Structure 1
Amino acid sequence: MIGWATAAPAVSAAFLGSFVEVVEAFTIVLAVGTVRGWRPALVGTAAGLVLLAVIVLALGPVLDRMPLQALQFVIGVLLLLFGLRWLRKAMLRSAGVIPLHDETAAYTVEAAALSPDPGRAGEHLDWIAALVAFKAIVLEGLEVVFIVIAVGAGRGLLVPAGLGALAACCLVLAVGLCVHKPLSRVPENNLKYGVGVMLSAFGVFWTGEGLGVDWPGHDLAVPLFAAAFLLVGVATTRLVHPAGARRAAP
């Protein structure tokens, strides 16, 4: 039986991580639809979703054939590296070392790149626009797929993690359709901070499981690892730039 202590962090990590990626993909697709029309935007989006579905269907049998401990170890290492990358960037942004990600600025850049140019044919530009939407869906979608597999594989949590990711997609789509503009007010860096903490915690947990470590408290070790990463992250951020850390604490 799946314990709440394991299911809750898995669903939360999948939801928050997917939310960040879907917001970024939505911003690009919105720029394509607004500037070049919704036909190329929807064509590129549909093609990207089809490719993601094929990838997921292809990965399923491969994961089923892998020994459980080997799967946990591989996913744990990848998840730890992935989570630490997110956490590092979030810490640097919180400390003011690198600028915060701005969805409005990203939208402006994409819209400018897709604006009609008298020297280019409109039909050719529509194909480029569809390709831009396709690339956004595939690249951001692959990260969503990885997050779901990483936090869900090996412990029967693929369905809860998948539902968390689906909920994030539906929420971004619903809000985006209502406001019809980039979701620039989403505290993206804070979300990435939290996701980096949770993914890193799962990474340590799964890596240990793959190596045969019997964690004290078993599933309860996950939130303890997350708390440890959060404390270290906040402390490190304050050491790098105390004023920046107070202004953008997660």
Structure 2
Amino acid sequence: MSATALFVAVFLACMVEAVEAVTIVLAAGTGRDWRSAITGAVSGLAVLAVIVAALGPALTAVPLEGLRLVVGGLLLVFGLQWLRKAILRASGLKALHDEDEAFRTTLAAAKAAPGGSRGFVTDWYSFTLSFKGVLLEGLEVAFIALTFGANQQNIPLAAAAALAAVVIVTGAGLAIRAPLTRVPENTMKLVVGIMLTAFGIFWGAEGAGAVWPGADAALLVVVPGVALFSLALIGVLRRVARTSAPAQARAERLAR
């Protein structure tokens, strides 16, 4: 896997998570208190930095074959979850993710929540909302960067890609102070789901002792293979959605 491919894979995956984290912080700051929201976000990043600092050296100490088996399995867990949701959304069986709607929902909940301060934090709700959002989404960013970087023995490059994605998304979000609705998140999630699943298959098989023909070049077959299978599923499920919609409509009319 080349350095460019590693950077692009980590960057795209982390950008999706960064968009969701920024949306939460924007809702907390807009609906409640910006100072508390930013304090919560910074606190979440500080906790995340400690976790990454502890896990990074530990991952590099694991034997490469064992690391690839574990990383491959974990990437399959994450990748298949993302891929399943992306396929259902693309086929019309699940509503598309709407970052603007997510922002409005979180904003409404923030405005309705009771106030209260604790210690140096003016608004505890804004603080905890931002803290949890940044920490949870950040853990996924850290996982992607650490696993890809450790497996390719290039954690600094993977960390740089993750940092670049977070900085770009955060800067754009704070500049316009609105959810990044123009980011093609549903398409990105499909692409990232395909990539994570393909790399999970590739590294998991290597960790189990399999030898791929052409070594890393086999990814040029595995990735398109997963993509074509995903697109085929989308096509099949779209037909299912079209045929089931009239039947569901008739059932709803009869129930009235």
Pair in the same fold by TM > 0.5: yes
Shift of 1:180: 1.7
Spell out the pairing of 1:127-138 with structure 2 (5 A cutoff): 127-138=124-135
1:36–1:129 CA contact under 8 A, matched in 2: yes
**Separation in 2, partners of 1:155, 1:123:** 45
What TM-score do the two structures reach when normalised by structure 2?
A: 0.87
Residue equivalent to 2:37: 41
Q: Which runs of 5+ in 1 are unaligned?
A: 246-250
Matched, 1:104 2:100: yes
RMSD in angstroms over aligned alpha carbons? 1.9
Contact 1:6 1:222 in 2 (8 A): no
| Deviating more after overlay: 206-215 vs 154-163 | 154-163
Instruction: Give the match for residue 117 of structure 2.
Output: 123
The Cα offsets for residues 4-36 of structure 1, whole Å up to 9 and x where unpaired, read as: x43333222211111110000000100111121
Q: 1:32-66: CA deviations, max 9, x gaps?
A: 11121211111100110011011111112321332
Q: Could you tell me which residue of structure 2 aligns to residue 248 of structure 1?
A: none
Q: Which residue of 2 aligns with 1:173?
A: 170
Question: Residue type of the partner of 1:123?
Answer: S
SS of corresponding position for 2:97: coil
- Partner residue in 1 for 2:25: 29
TM-score (norm 1): 0.89
**1:57-206 residue pairs with structure 2 within 5 A?**
57-115=53-111, 120-123=114-117, 126-206=123-203
Shift of 1:122: 4.5
Deviation at 1:159, TM superposition (A): 2.1
Give the % identical residues: 46
Per the alignment, do residues 87 and 60 of structure 1 end up closer, same or farther by CA in structure 2, a change over 3 Å counting?
same
Deviations 1:145-185 (A, max 9, x none): 11112222122232222222111112112221332210112
What SS class does the counterpart of residue 55 from structure 2 fall into? helix
Query: How many equivalent pairs are there?
Result: 239
Which is further off, 67-76 or 169-178?
169-178
CA contact (8 A) 1:148 1:162 kept: yes
